[in-house]
Chains A and B, each alone.
Chain A
Amino acid sequence: MKRFFLPILILMLAGTAHAKGNADKGKAKAAQVCAACHGADGAKPTAPDQPILAGQYPDYLVKALADYKSGKRANPIMKAFADQLSKQDIEDVSAWFASQKSALHFQR
C-alpha cells in the first residue's frame, strides 16, 4: 500500500505545479498579439495553414508557445509574437483560447 502513495503524491503535485492561466487577462493579451491571424477567440484563422486554437488543450498551447519563444520550434513569424509574451502571458492566452469553442474536437 505504502509504495503507491509516493507516485500518487507526485502525480497530484505535478498536476498543481503548473501555474494556472487567467483567461480574462489572456483575452486582452490575445487581442493585441494573436487575434489578427488566429481570430479573437482562436476559432477562425485568417489563412488555411494557421491552426485553430480555440478548444485546444491549454498545456499543449503553453508548450507550443514556449517552444516558439525558445526557438526550439523554428518559425520566424511565431517567434516574433511569442517573444512579446511573458511566461504568465503564455499561460493566460493559452487559458483563454482553450476555453473557447471551435470546430476542434476529439477524433479517433
Chain B
Amino acid sequence: MRNHFSMAITAGLLVSAAVPALAQQPALAGDPKEAHKKIAMCEGCHGIPGYKTAYPQVYHVPMLGGQQAAYISSALHAYKAGQRKHPSMRGIAASLSDQDIADLAAYYSAGHK
C-alpha cells in the first residue's frame, strides 16, 4: 500500500516536472525584429535556396518561411534537448535561449512573400 502510494507520488512529481517545461514553450512572445540579430547562424544553410546538407545524409534543409511558429519552437527545443539528433542543429540550438527560440520562430513564421 505504502509502496503504491510513494510510486504514485513519484510519478506525479515526474509528470508535474515535465509538463510545465512543455507547456511553457509557446508562452514566450517572440519578436521578429529581435530575430534579425540572431539569424546569422540559420542563414548559412536555410538562407540559401535549394541548399542541401552534406552530413550525415544528403537532402534539402527544410524551408522555414511561413512555417508555424509553435512547430519551429518545438523543433528547436527538441534539438536543444537532444531529442532530435542532427549534429549541426543540436550545436546551434544548444546556443539559443528560450527567448532566442521564440524570436526565431516569430521571424520565420511571420514572413509572407
Residue among A48, A49, A57, A105 with most chain B CB within 10 A: A49
Main secondary structure on B side of the interface with A: loop
* Interface pair A49/B60, CB less than 8 Å apart: no
* Interface pair B66/A51, CB less than 8 Å apart: no
Residues of B contacting A59 in the complex (Cβ-Cβ under 8 angstroms): 59-60
Residues of A contacting B68 in the complex (Cβ-Cβ under 8 angstroms): 45, 48-52
A-B contact count (CB 8 A): 74
B43 touches which of A49, A52, A63, A108 (Cβ 8 Å): A108
Contact string against B for A residues 95-108, beta-carbon threshold 8 Å, 1 for contact and 0 otherwise: 00000001111111
B91 is an interface residue with CB less than 8 A from chain A: no
* Interface pair B65/A107, CB less than 8 Å apart: yes
* Interface pair B62/A56, CB less than 8 Å apart: yes
* Interface pair A105/B71, CB less than 8 Å apart: no
B67 touches which of A14, A51, A72 (Cβ 8 Å): A51
Give the distance in Å from the alpha carbon of A62 to the alpha carbon of B58 in the complex.
12
* Interface pair A63/B61, CB less than 8 Å apart: no
Give the distance in Å from the alpha carbon of A74 to the alpha carbon of B60 in the complex.
21
Give the distance in Å from the alpha carbon of A104 to the alpha carbon of B108 in the complex.
10
B56 smallest CB distance to A (angstroms): 11
A60 is an interface residue with CB less than 8 A from chain B: yes
* Interface pair B83/A52, CB less than 8 Å apart: no
Give the distance in Å from the alpha carbon of A103 to the alpha carbon of B66 in the complex.
5
Name 7 A/B residue pairs within 8 A (Cβ), A-sorted: A14-B58, A50-B71, A51-B71, A57-B60, A59-B60, A60-B60, A106-B65
